[in-house]
Structures are given as C-alpha cells and as structure tokens.
Amino acid sequence: MNVALAPLAASVLTSRRRWLGRLVSGIPVLFLVFDGSIKLAGIQPVVEAFERLGLPSRTAGGIGLLELVCLAVHLTPRTAAAGAVLLTGFLGGAVALHLRVGDPLASHVLFPVYVGALLWIGFFLRDRRVWDLLGTVS
C-alpha cells in the first residue's frame, strides 16, 4: 500500500468499525430500554414474571430505574466503561435469578449473557480505549 494512503485507510477502517459498533450496540440498548421501561410501567406480565422469579412485584420499578440508569451511564461517552461494567453485573444478577428458578438454559438463563455479549462487542468496536486495552492492532 502507498505510505501516503495508509492514514486514510486506517481512518476508513476506524470509521467503519465505529459505525458497526454503534449498530451492534443498538440491539442490546433497544432491548434494555424496553425492558427497563416495562418494569417502570409495572404492567401485568412484569408483575407475573417477578412473582414467578420470587421477587416482590413492588421492586420492579426500582429495578427498572436501576437498569435505565446503568444504561445511561454506559451511553455517556466519558462513563461508558463504568456503565458496561455495571450492566454486566446487572445482567449477571438476571442469570442468577433464572438459574435459581430452573428456567430453560438457552432461552432464559443465557439470554442476559447474549445481551451482555452484544453490549461488549459493540463497545469494543466503537471505543478505541477498549480496543487498546485488549492490545488489538487496528
């Protein structure tokens, strides 16, 4: 490759990676906004799910608010890493709850893992700090 074109090629790759990261991040973000919102709304399916999981339904609003706050921390560029860590813990709690009640593995227990994986893959692609932390060459 022409040495003069190398910075341009790197810039295009970085731009494409960032947009791909935003696209991948959009999937778990949309799910988490929906999930947190329905918990805040306290709709009947949420009440039933909380009862089935052995949680008091009155805690749904607080848990939904916590979820949305963690998401807001993640979506703020300066605090995105802290938000990703907080959401990882939040999703880990969901895995533990589903394991405790004996829910199906692939559809219920691992679903928060899928959400978390997409969240981190998107973060990795769109944020150079994560890319550098893992020692990846761009």
User: Quick one: three-class SS letters along the chain?
Assistant: CCHHHHHHHHHHHHHHHHHHHHHHHHHHHHHHHHHHHHHHHCCHHHHHHHHHCCCCHHHHHHHHHHHHHHHHHHHCHHHHHHHHHHHHHHHHHHHHHHHHCCCCHHHHHCHHHHHHHHHHHHHHHHCHHHHHHCCCCC
Residue 136: its pLDDT value, please? 60
Mean pLDDT per 10-residue section of the chain, whose length is 138 residues: 50 82 97 98 97 97 98 96 97 97 97 98 90 69
Residue 132: its pLDDT value, please? 80
Residue 11: its pLDDT value, please? 67
- Environment class of residue 27 by beta-carbon count within 10 Å: exposed (0-12), middle (13-18) or buried (19+)? middle
Residue 130: its pLDDT value, please? 86
Residue 14: its pLDDT value, please? 83
Residue 128: its pLDDT value, please? 83
Residue 133: its pLDDT value, please? 81
